[in-house]
Structure 1
Amino acid sequence: MADYKLYGGLGSPYSMKMRAVLRYRRLPHQWISANDPQVMAPLFAQVKAPVIPVLEFPDGTVMNDSTPLVLELERRHPGVRSIVPDDAGQAFLAALLEDFADEWGTKAMFHYRWDRERDQRQMSQWLAFDRLKGRGREAIQAAADLFRARQVGRMALVGCTPQNAPLIEATAQRVYALLDRMAAEDLYLFGSRPSLADFAWFGQLSQLAVDPTPHDLMRETAPLLMRWLVNIDDASGIEGEWRDPTLAPTAATAGLLKLAGEVYLPFLQANAQAIHDGRETFETELMGHAYSQGVFRYQAKCLAELRAAYARLSVEARRRVDPILDAAGALAALA
């Protein structure tokens, strides 16, 4: 089998997610730092948005956006250490939790990275080093200063404002606690093998585990989660089974679904309603906290796709997942 080529960065949660997926699935690949504009320009010309990671398939096809990449790998390598649970109901729950990680979990990553001065300073230097290593400290620091200013300036755009900070930090702490318990008791969210939901949360948390402030919090409150992240980064040696779908979900899975029902799905609904009404911003209340930001059309698409995936479930699959979603407060938003 010819090698895949994954162009990404250590500071990109989606790059880390996809590298871990390729490693777990034992798909031969090259990990290439996306730091050369001359290399990246022709790749970005072949995708809709110029963002990493970019995956070049052995046949020369180029794609980015981690969820479509995961699904394309499933299509090309069916049954080969799949990360989508065999049971349709569990597969839907995993897709919901993956989406939750990708679209809300990233707010915690962005907030912690660019809110406090200590995090801004270290991470801007590290990310500049990744792109300019070997080119001298002055060049690295100059690039760090420019990148820091740009990212801090984007915080309000993605909802990472002082008003929203208490909610974002509260949800991150809930995720820490839930996944630290999972690491001790259940291995993964849907059995003794990792799913697309595990890899999505790994991607976001891989950043929180190294940025100074969330790193300190993780070491203090979720030390087993911190070690779990190191292990899933290369799970190529893991052999496992999917959880019996007739059993109740694990505490971590049920807890994440409940958090999605309290925060993520209401957030998606408020965003979609604002777009429908022609508004540029929206305000809502989540977990007792006021939350506001500008609308994102991509996240309206996420809600539509989740609802479509739910609608495609068979009667039998719905019979099993509806009580789980209802208990989490998530069913009404999907149905």
Structure 2
Amino acid sequence: MSTRPPFTLYGSNASPYSCKMRALMRYRRLHFTWVPLNPMEMASHPNPNIRALKAKVIPVLEWPDGRVLNDSTVIIDALEAEFRDGRTVVPPAGPARFLAKLLEDFFDEWLMKAMFNRRWSSEVDRDWSGRWIISDQLMSAPELVTLPSPSQTSGLIKFFRDRQVGRLALVGCEDDKLWQHVMYEVVGALDMQLRSGDACRFLLGPHPTCADFALFGVLKQLSLDHTAGRFIQDHFDAAYGWVLAMDDLSGLETDVDWKSLHMDTPAVKKILKLISAMYMPYLVANGKATRGEWVEVEFHLDDGQTFRHKEKFGPYQKKCLDDLKRHYEQLTAS
């Protein structure tokens, strides 16, 4: 690990973005302390810089000098600008940079919805997820000397579970068939690539990019969940093993050579079809909407399947579209 003064990474084991950043920090060998943080406690946090963050979302990264940032994509870009060593994760320019950013965004925003659906749709998953997430938060609560009894935590579990289930429609995660399809396609694409001859161990080649860590963050959550975790173990064991390995790549010796990237790996080609058929039409439709409106879009897949998607306008997703346009303009101008 680095001899620099440590960063502090605040997050949760139940957050795909927190797990994404923790794995990335390990890979980059940036010395950090992991501190569990519930987003609902950010407004009253003892650190005034955390209290002052406009968006109360995790992860939060605190620099040794006291600066703080949240939003994993923003944090990654800040680290890339500051630490240009042999373990960077964002290609510096050209098509590779745009592709890595596009994939990262897709996993962060679209595959995450599949995870949220799988976690909170069925009764057995709701029960399991509510219990393990609250248990994890209690285990890491610094103010607790002893853990409360199950009878004492049942109300907290129910409150958290009901809140999450109540968000399914708002964020467009109610359609089990749609999100099961998305999960199967992405995990299956990764598993297929890992099983092929002379397989690239990462999405774009011999070393990971920001896209790999975004994919890992979501798959880590799916692997922890009741139904999805067992399904991935039983049917996509190569992908499951990849998730286990991605959690800590600090020991992976690599000297990043961006010229060695492969932008047409089997997994990427299959995932790009999904982005073209689903994610981009959604982003365009959301970009035309305004706050408070419902976004409705129909997806027509090559295999003849049709899905209808509906969710409330997402201002952050509109920003995602603007960012992708900016990355594309930089690509075409180069």
TM-score by length of 2: 0.88
After TM superposition, which residue ranges in structure 1, 4 or more long, deviate above 6 angstroms?
none
Q: Is the 8 A contact 1:34 1:40 kept in 2?
A: no
5 Å-filtered alignment, 1:128-139, equals 128-133=134-139, 134-139=147-152
> What amino acid is aligned across from residue 135 of structure 1 in structure 2?
P
Show the counterpart of 1:313: 331
Structure 1 vs Structure 2 CA RMSD: 2.0
Shift of residue 315, structure 1, vs aligned partner: 5.4
Gaps of 5+ in 1: 317-335
Aligned residues: 312
Distance 1:207 1:100 in 2: 16
Show the counterpart of 1:225: 239
Q: Is the 8 A contact 2:23 2:247 kept in 1?
A: yes
Show the counterpart of 2:142: none
> What amino acid is aligned across from residue 5 of structure 2 in structure 1?
A
Shift of residue 34, structure 1, vs aligned partner: 1.2
Shift of residue 80, structure 1, vs aligned partner: 4.2
5 Å-filtered alignment, 1:251-290, equals 251-275=266-290, 280-286=293-299, 287=301, 288-290=306-308
Distance 2:289 2:61 in 1: 34
Q: Is the 8 A contact 1:191 1:242 kept in 2?
A: no
5 Å-filtered alignment, 1:128-167, equals 128-133=134-139, 134-161=147-174, 164-167=175-178
Query: What secondary structure sits across from 1:203 in the alignment?
Result: helix
Show the counterpart of 2:14: 11
Alpha-carbon distance change, 248 to 14 in structure 1, aligned in 2, over 3 angstroms: closer
Which residue of the other structure, out of 292, 297, 306, is the alignment partner of 2:310?
292
> What amino acid is aligned across from residue 168 of structure 1 in structure 2?
W
State percent identity of aligned pairs.
38
> What amino acid is aligned across from residue 214 of structure 1 in structure 2?
A
Q: More displaced, 241-250 or 196-205?
A: 241-250
Distance 2:219 2:25 in 1: 18
Query: What secondary structure sits across from 2:69 in the alignment?
Result: strand
Q: Is the 8 A contact 1:20 1:233 kept in 2?
A: yes
Gaps of 5+ in 2: 140-146
Query: What secondary structure sits across from 2:18 in the alignment?
Result: helix
Which residue of the other structure, out of 226, 229, 233, is the alignment partner of 1:212?
226
Query: What secondary structure sits across from 2:10 in the alignment?
Result: strand
Shift of residue 86, structure 1, vs aligned partner: 4.2
Show the counterpart of 1:126: 132
Distance 1:105 1:18 in 2: 17
Show the counterpart of 1:100: 106
Q: More displaced, 71-80 or 301-310?
A: 71-80
Alpha-carbon distance change, 77 to 33 in structure 1, aligned in 2, over 3 angstroms: same
> What amino acid is aligned across from residue 140 of structure 1 in structure 2?
T
Shift of residue 101, structure 1, vs aligned partner: 0.5
Alpha-carbon distance change, 24 to 173 in structure 1, aligned in 2, over 3 angstroms: same
Distance 1:246 1:10 in 2: 31
Q: More displaced, 169-178 or 87-96?
A: 87-96
Indicate yes or no: 2:195 matched with 1:180: no
Q: Is the 8 A contact 1:114 1:151 kept in 2?
A: yes
Distance 2:263 2:127 in 1: 45
Distance 1:92 1:118 in 2: 39
Show the counterpart of 2:143: none
> What amino acid is aligned across from residue 225 of structure 1 in structure 2?
A
Distance 2:292 2:167 in 1: 20
Indicate yes or no: 2:96 matched with 1:90: yes
Alpha-carbon distance change, 40 to 221 in structure 1, aligned in 2, over 3 angstroms: farther
Q: More displaced, 258-267 or 14-23?
A: 258-267
Shift of residue 87, structure 1, vs aligned partner: 4.8
Distance 1:76 1:262 in 2: 36
Shift of residue 41, structure 1, vs aligned partner: 6.8
> What amino acid is aligned across from residue 178 of structure 1 in structure 2?
A
Distance 1:303 1:248 in 2: 21
Distance 2:45 2:51 in 1: 11
TM-score by length of 1: 0.88
User: Deviations 1:208-248 (Å, cap 9, x if unpaired)?
Assistant: 01101111221122111001001011011123454646865
Shift of residue 136, structure 1, vs aligned partner: 2.8
